[in-house]
Structure 1
C-alpha cells in the first residue's frame, strides 16, 4: 500500500473506496497490519514533532529522549486503536451492506449466512449487512419475499419494511411491502410472527399458522387463509382467487414492468379468479380475463404501456 494513500487515510481525507481498499489490505496479513502500524506511528511522530517545534520556545523540556519516545509510542498505539476502530465501524456500516435487487419479470432465490432461504419476487430489493447472523439477523425489504427462517432462539430474525417490522425465530412466511404503496401484507405458513409498526417496540398483532395480516392506508385486516395458492409466485405461477381487477392490474405492472392506465374506473371492481404461468405473458392473462368481463385494451409499440378501456 503506498504511503500517500495511507497518509490521506490518517488525515481523514480518503474516499470510502480507498478506506475499503486499505482495510481489506490490513486484514489480508499480519505483515500488512504491521506495516500499517509502522506508517501510522511515523505519521503521528511527525505531527507530534511539528507541535513540539512550535512550543519549544515556551516550554522547558523535562523528559529524556527515552521517555519522550516511549510516550510517542503509547500515543501512537492509542491513536491507531481508535482510528482503526472508527474506520472499521464506518466500513462495516457503510461499505459492507449487501443488496440483492430483482428486475421486473424475474424472481430470485438466495440463502443467507444463517441458512435462511429467501425467495424474492419481481421488482424487489433485499438489503442486509455482510456480518449478518453473527450478532443480529436484520434484513430490509422493498417488495415481496417468501422466507424460510433458520431457527435460532438466541438471535431473532427481523424483516424491516417501509412501514412495518416483522419479528420471528424459526418460521415460514410471506411479506409483501412495496415502498410508496401504503400497503403491507404478511402471510404465515408455519410458526409464529409478531408485527410492529416501524420504530415501535410494541407489537400490533401476532400471527399463528395459516393467518394473514394486511395494512392498507392505516386500516388493518386479519383473517385465516384457506389456501396458499397465491404464494406460488415463487414457482412462477400467478394465482388469483376472487381478486379485484384493480389488485390484479397492480401486480401485473410489477410482474411485467409495464404502466397500466384505466379509462373506465368501473372495470376496477371486477372480481377475477385464475391461475397463470409467468411465461404466458400479460397479453395472454388479459385475454383470458376478457372471456368473463367486458373491457378492451391497447398496447403501445414499446410494449411498456397498456391502456384499459
Structure 2
C-alpha cells in the first residue's frame, strides 16, 4: 500500500473511495493489517514528537485511534492531575491519579511510562498513579482494554477491575470489565497471566496462551479461545459469533452511543446471532442485516440517538 495514501487516511483527508481501498487492503491479510498498524504507530510517534515540543508536562501520550469514519473521530477526554511521568520525584503512596476516559462511540490508544501500549474501547476509563512504573505498575480499568505489557520481571503489572484483578509481567491480553455489569472477561494472546478476586491475593487460575477466563456474577468459565476475531474491536471491526441478542444490544449501545430499548424479553434472550461488521457500516446497516434472519423490527428517532426494537 502506498505510504502517501496511508498518511492521507491517518490525517483524515482521504476520500471515501480511498478509505474503502485502504480498509479492503487491511482486511485482505494479517500481513497487511500488521503493516498498517506499524505505519500508524510511526505516524503517531511523529505527531507526538511535534506536540511534545509545543506542550509542557503531559502525563501520557494520547494517540487518536484508527479514524474509520468522519463522524466518529477520536476525542478522548484526559483528566490530568499531578506531575510529568519522567520528572524526578520521590515515590509516594498518595501520588495523584491520572484518568483517561473514552466517550461512547470512540476508541483510543495510549502508551504508558513503562512502554506498555493500551487500546481502550468505547465508554472505558483507565486510572493510574502519576508515578506509575517507579515501584509499582497498577492500573484500574472500568470498561474494555487490550494490553501489550512491557516486560519487567522486577515490577509486575496489575489490572484491577471491580470484580477481579490480573497480574502479568510482559504479555498481550484483553480485559472486558465494565463496572456494574457483573461480568469480567480476560483473553490471553501471549505470555502468562494470573487471575485473582479483586480483594484477595489467592489465585483463582493461571491462563496460558489462547485461553479465555470469565466471571459472570460469581460463575467462572475457562476455555480455549477458538478465534481472535472478537478482539478486532481495536481495528474498528465488530465480530459476533453465536451470541444472544442482549449481547448485541449492549455492544451497539457502547459502540454507537445510542440508547436501545427492547420491548420483549424473548427477543433479548434469542440466541444464535453471528456476523462481522465494520464500524463505518453504521448501526442501521447492522440492525437491518441481522433482522433479515431474526424476528424483530426497529425504529430510530429523529435525533438518531435512540432505537426502539420490537417483535415482528
TM-score of the superposed pair, with normalisation by structure 2: 0.69
1:192-250 per-residue CA deviation (whole Å, 9 max, x = no partner) reads 10011111010111110000011111111111011000000000000111111111111
1:295 alignment counterpart: 296
Distance 1:302 1:270 in 2: 30
Contact 2:107 2:122 in 1 (8 A): yes
Contact 2:242 2:271 in 1 (8 A): no
1:15-68 per-residue CA deviation (whole Å, 9 max, x = no partner) reads xxxxx99x99xx99xxxxxxxxxxxxxxxxxxxxxxxxxxxxxxxxxxxxxxxx
Distance 1:248 1:276 in 2: 12
Deviation of 1:307 after TM superposition, in Å, equals 1.2
1:162-186 per-residue CA deviation (whole Å, 9 max, x = no partner) reads 1110000011000000001000000
1:172 alignment counterpart: 172
Contact 1:212 1:222 in 2 (8 A): yes
Deviation of 1:156 after TM superposition, in Å, equals 0.2
2:281 alignment counterpart: 280
Matched, 1:305 2:306: yes
Distance 2:139 2:254 in 1: 22
Contact 2:300 2:308 in 1 (8 A): yes
Matched, 1:189 2:192: no
1:257 alignment counterpart: 257
Contact 1:114 1:133 in 2 (8 A): yes
1:296 partner SS: strand
1:120 alignment counterpart: 120
1:49-98 per-residue CA deviation (whole Å, 9 max, x = no partner) reads xxxxxxxxxxxxxxxxxxxxxxxxxxxxxxxxxxxx9xx95xx725x311
2:134 alignment counterpart: 134
**Structure 1 outlier segments of 4+, above 6 Å:** none
1:220 alignment counterpart: 220
Matched, 1:248 2:262: no
2:296 partner SS: coil
Deviation of 1:147 after TM superposition, in Å, equals 0.2
Q: Give the length in aligned residue pairs.
A: 226
Matched, 1:155 2:155: yes
TM-score of the superposed pair, with normalisation by structure 1: 0.70
2:231 alignment counterpart: 231
**Alignment gaps of 5+ in structure 2:** 1-80
More helix by share: 1
Contact 1:104 1:256 in 2 (8 A): yes
Contact 2:144 2:178 in 1 (8 A): yes
